[in-house]
Amino acid sequence: MWNIVINLAIIAIIIATSVPLGRYIWKVFTDQRTWLDPVLGPVERLVLRVTGASTAQQDWRAYCVSLLASNVVMWVVAYLLLTAQALLPLNPDGIGGMEATLAFNTASSFTTNTNLQHYSGETGLSTFSQLFVIVWLQFVTAATGIAACVAVFRGLAGSRLQTLGNFYQDCTRAAVRVLLPLSVLVAVLLVWQGVPVTYEGAVSATTVEGTVQSVARGMVAPEVAIKQLGTNGGGYFGPNSAHPFENPTPLSNLFETWSIAIIPMAMVWTLGHFVRRRRLAVVLFAAMLAIYVPMVVGATLAETGGSPPLTELGVDASQGSLEGKETRFGPGLSALWAVTTTVTSNGSVNAMHDSMTPLGGLMPLTGMWLNNIFGGVGVGFINMVLYLIVTVFVAGMMVGRAPEFLGKKVEAREMQLASLALLWHPLAILVTTAIACVVWVQTADPGTALGWLKNPGAHGFSEMLYEFTSAAANNGSGFEGLGDNTPFWNIATGLVMLLSRYVPIVLPVALAASLAAKPGADDSAGSLRADSATFGLMLWGVTIIIGLLMFLPVAVLGPIAEHLSQGVLR
């Protein structure tokens, strides 16, 4: 019970601090003065001047072209640096260049803000690559997501609006005025807690057994700060934030958990300010919270309740299921992190998700299947806007009124765009998982199984399902029992990450532009209000039904089948 109370208290802290941050982000993107302007304003202007980026207003097509073109350049630069890192400076440990398919996967992963890692950071990347590929991309791709979300907000708030802003200016503001100051704050707090910051390579240490061990280190604190705040998730070390150099204390764990959710939650309040309807923001926030909190409680109960297989072996389960978890945090804080990192498209971990109980592991999968509960910085909340439009349409049809949102009619074009964007997510997950199963069955040797699966049966299926779910949700976490550094997984997940990043951005931006071009009208007695408790309840229902119904069969084949196989119902 205390684990649930502690987790709810942490969530309350994040909510309370998200409100002023949401207002600050709104001010940043509406050219209002903030107290950080004297420091950050010159930096923003310097970046725009050095890059030579135009700040002219753009319609949705030009905005999306700028977004896609800049991301193509990012990908190419990242791929070249990763394959050539052996020839570059700041490589004290002499790490070689990445293999071609792994570099393709890594460049795709970090350019799309997914940060799926088929390598171990401390042995796969030089200090140069960590700083000038990974950290750089973690800033600019997170800023890309915030910029796209702000463009959607402008579209929802506009009336007869033909432009949605300027992508380069929005991206620069997001990186310089939002992500940079927060990253400096979090990095300082992490250094205080013992997270290392050094340009030197690995150091030798003598263990208590008398053996000599090579201990990797580097510029860890800055990377951890932006990986959390930008819902990036890619860690400096292979174990991510389960590693004591990334997350050494319960207090650092609090800072990092806060960092995962603070901007995604703040973006909800930012929308309320943009459309000048704070009550709408409250309704949306409450609907998402009504899904997030039960998931946290469910995962906490599952992980603190112990593991039946371990209990049958005589292992004491009084402290919960501790397999794959750090004793610094225990099962309660590990469950909170697992749910928070997957509902926000972050993907960092402070425990091994593959070791969670079946129902505990179902919660992270559920978060990524929905992919709209607060979501990643910007893009995840865009997905909730899609569900909002669908709910408006369904509610309007149910009560016999013309569907409209914020005084604008929701017509066939908007529903087509919303439906295409929503259908892509399950398509990307279910089709690719089916292909992986077919390839594995047809080519697997009984002794090697292509090196993919270390666990047969339902759990092995869950591992493959989780990998494609994580890639499609731009999350990056994994059930790490899967041997994923193979050409098949590197290329397949790389393609899924690329398509699942940009399809769900371009279509909602086009939808927002369609609404922006329409004249706005004041609410009347016959208007369907989207800021009422009734509408919030319906939004919650539509999200659950549409978001999860398509994934129920694979949930039964994977986590639920594994749960039942453990004799829980006997």
451-506 pLDDT, tens digit per residue, is: 567 777 888 889 899 999 999 999 988 887 777 888 889 999 999 999 999 998 99
pLDDT in the model for residue 457: 81
Would the pLDDT of 449 be above 50? no
pLDDT in the model for residue 412: 85
- CA distances in angstroms from 560 to 168, 185, 331, 357, 546, listed in the order given: 46, 42, 20, 10, 20
Q: Is residue 204 within 8 Å of residue 96, measured between CB atoms?
A: no
pLDDT in the model for residue 111: 94
In which band, very low, low, confident or very high, does the pLDDT at 448 lie, cut at 50, 70 and 90?
very low
Q: Is residue 129 within 8 Å of residue 248, measured between CB atoms?
A: no
CA distance 55 to 151: 14
Q: Which of 59, 60, 159 is nearest to 518 (CA)?
A: 159
Q: Is residue 415 within 8 Å of residue 304, measured between CB atoms?
A: no
Give pTM, 2 decimals.
0.92
Burial (CB count within 10 angstroms: exposed 0-12, middle 13-18, buried 19+), residue 428: buried
pLDDT digits (tens, 9 = 90+) for 545-558: 888 888 999 999 99
Which H/E stretch holds residue 204?
A: strand 203-206
pLDDT digits (tens, 9 = 90+) for 145-186: 999 999 999 998 888 888 999 999 999 999 999 999 999 999
pLDDT in the model for residue 401: 74
- For the chain, what is the mean pLDDT? 88
Would the pLDDT of 428 be above 60? yes
pLDDT in the model for residue 526: 58
pLDDT digits (tens, 9 = 90+) for 98-118: 999 999 999 999 999 998 999
pLDDT in the model for residue 527: 62
Q: Name the least confident of 15-19, 63-67, 419-423, 427-431.
A: 419-423
- CA distances in angstroms from 125 to 102, 218, 238, 476, 538, listed in the order given: 12, 11, 11, 17, 47
Q: Which of 313, 309, 305, 373 is nearest to 339 (CA)?
A: 373
pLDDT in the model for residue 374: 87
Percent of the chain with pLDDT over 90: 55
Burial (CB count within 10 angstroms: exposed 0-12, middle 13-18, buried 19+), residue 181: middle
Rounded mean pLDDT, 420-440: 90
Give the domain ranges of the chain. 379-565
pLDDT in the model for residue 317: 65
**C-alpha torsion sign, points 307, 311, 312, 314:** positive
Collect all residues with Cβ–Cβ distance below 8 Å to 152 and sequence separation of at least 6.
382, 385, 508, 509, 511, 512
Higher pLDDT, 527 or 543: 543
What amino acid is encoded at 309 in this protein? P
pLDDT in the model for residue 207: 78
Percent of the chain with pLDDT over 70: 94
pLDDT in the model for residue 443: 59
Q: Is residue 268 within 8 Å of residue 510, measured between CB atoms?
A: no
pLDDT digits (tens, 9 = 90+) for 40-94: 999 999 999 998 888 899 999 999 999 999 999 999 999 999 999 999 998 988 8
pLDDT in the model for residue 378: 58
